[in-house]
Amino acid sequence: MRLQDNNNFCYGICIESAYDAKSILFHLMTMSAQLHSQPNQPIASNQSLAPQSMALPNGATRASPIGIFDSGIGGLSVAIDVHHYLPNEQILYFADTAHVPYGARSDEEIRRLTAEAIDWLYQQGCKAAIVACNTASAFSLDYLRQYYGEQFPIIGLVPAVKPAVIQSQTKVVAVLATPATFRGKLIQDVVQHFALPAGVKVMTTTCLDLVPLVEQGKALDAECLLALQQCLQPVIDAGADHLVLGCTHYPFLKTAIERLYGDQLILVDSGQAVARQCGRVLQKFQLQNEQLVTDFEMKCVFSGNNQQSMQKVVENLIQNRLVVRLTDLSDFHLSSA
């Protein structure tokens, strides 16, 4: 199986605002009160997500952790790449297992759950955050960047369509992602302004069963292989030579895809490119940790309070590539972590 990473992933920081300081402070206080009174619930339906740009300082330093968020444990694939590229950085990982999967949820609910998760990382003193979820990135990046501004840099994901388009020999590439990711503007823009002018056909395919199967530790089970075959065989038959893994859970399916299709597909994901972008952002804001870290241990917090049931699944996925301490949200205290 030939694997490839997206070298062209890059986002800037958006810091424009049309709101005065009082309205920003009121919005932050209201949102924070809601989030911490109901830590596992979405923001109330009447709560505005209007863009803001001035967040209150959270006391982060160079030694503070990078926050990584995903709807579940798929973002561990990104955490592995971040740790390999930035070995002196501590990582705090938040898995919203109380609400996984996000892919079938409404656009509004995805935005609200993402805002809640990123606010939690901010309140823990993280110096930057990675939205390690393509679905969440598709609907939340603009808002989050305007809301926090330069006080709290946000790095997001977009399916790595560009490198697949550039290197496709058959002029047909496939993207495997959630329905919500395909509804988002990010991937639509890449297809419209990059793939179509290049004369490359982008095929989309989805399967809502894949994320739960990864979360359950069934990536190599017959059920998962059948689900993959059903969603990938049509794009193989149509001549696709590249498969873009448009969900952070899907890199954990590489072995399963190899069993089915061998070298028929070149797999492309954004993990290493996100890690490099995170490094650039830390350098830009002078947030790199200058201390040598010899006792790295990533804290992984579960909103679903299902740490015990996830222990073996996480161990199987990371395979000693990270040292991880799992904690339920109800038991987590940063000062004692």
Residue 172 in domain: yes
Q: Note whether 37 and 113 are same-domain residues.
A: yes
Report the domain count for the chain. Answer: 2
Helices within the chain (DSSP H only): 21-37, 76-85, 107-123, 134-148, 161-167, 179-183, 185-190, 210-215, 222-237, 254-261, 271-284, 307-318
Residue 224 designated active-site:
no
Q: What is the CATH number of the domain that holds 254?
A: 3.40.50.1860
Q: Note whether 147 and 196 are same-domain residues.
A: no
Q: Is 208 helix (H, G, I), strand (E, B) or coil?
A: coil
Indicate the residue among 248, 270, 292 that finishes a domain: 270
Q: Note whether 285 and 261 are same-domain residues.
A: no
Q: Note whether 251 and 332 are same-domain residues.
A: no
Options 133, 207, 224, 278, the catalytic residue: 133
Residues 202-259 pLDDT 10s? 999 999 999 999 999 999 999 999 999 999 999 999 999 999 999 999 999 999 999 9
CA dihedral in degrees (274, 112, 144, 93; nearest 10)? -40
Residue 247 designated active-site:
yes
- Contacts from 193-197 at CB under 8 Å and sequence distance 24+? 194/161, 194/162, 194/165, 195/161, 195/165
Indicate the residue among 235, 270, 305 that finishes a domain: 270
Q: Note whether 186 and 264 are same-domain residues.
A: yes
Identify the weakest region by mean pLDDT among 133-137, 147-151, 220-224: 147-151
Residue 14 in domain: no
Q: Note whether 151 and 281 are same-domain residues.
A: yes
State the chain's mean pLDDT as an integer: 85
Q: Note whether 31 and 139 are same-domain residues.
A: yes
If pLDDT is split at 50, 70 and 90, which confidence band does 271 have?
Answer: very high
Spatial neighbors of 163 by CB under 8 A, at least 6 apart, are 4, 5, 6, 7, 8, 268
Q: What is the pLDDT of residue 248?
A: 97
Angle CA 166–171–176, to nearest 5: 80
Residues 98-122 have a mean pLDDT of: 95
Q: Note whether 233 and 170 are same-domain residues.
A: yes
Residues 285-303 pLDDT 10s? 999 999 998 889 999 999 9
- Biggest CA-to-CA distance, the chain: 58
Q: Note whether 123 and 193 are same-domain residues.
A: no
Helices within 38-160 (DSSP H only): 76-85, 107-123, 134-148
Residues 73-87 have a mean pLDDT of: 97
Q: Is 103 annotated as a binding residue?
A: yes
Residue 203 tokens, joined: 């095929």
Q: Note whether 262 and 194 are same-domain residues.
A: yes
Residue 16 in domain: no
Q: Note whether 151 and 261 are same-domain residues.
A: no
Q: Is 134 annotated as a binding residue?
A: yes
Residues 329-336 have a mean pLDDT of: 71
Q: Note whether 67 and 171 are same-domain residues.
A: no
Q: What is the pLDDT of residue 70?
A: 98
Q: Is 89 helix (H, G, I), strand (E, B) or coil?
A: coil
Q: Is 114 annotated as a binding residue?
A: no
Q: Could you tell me the pTM of the whole model?
A: 0.81
% of the chain with per-residue pLDDT over 90: 74
Q: Is 102 annotated as a binding residue?
A: yes
Options 126, 224, 247, 300, the catalytic residue: 247
Residue 226 in domain: yes
Q: Is 239 annotated as a binding residue?
A: no
Q: What is the pLDDT of residue 332?
A: 85
Task: State yes or no: cis peptide before 159, omega within 30 of 0.
Answer: no
Write out the residue range of the structural domain in which residue 302 sits.
21-46+57-157+272-336
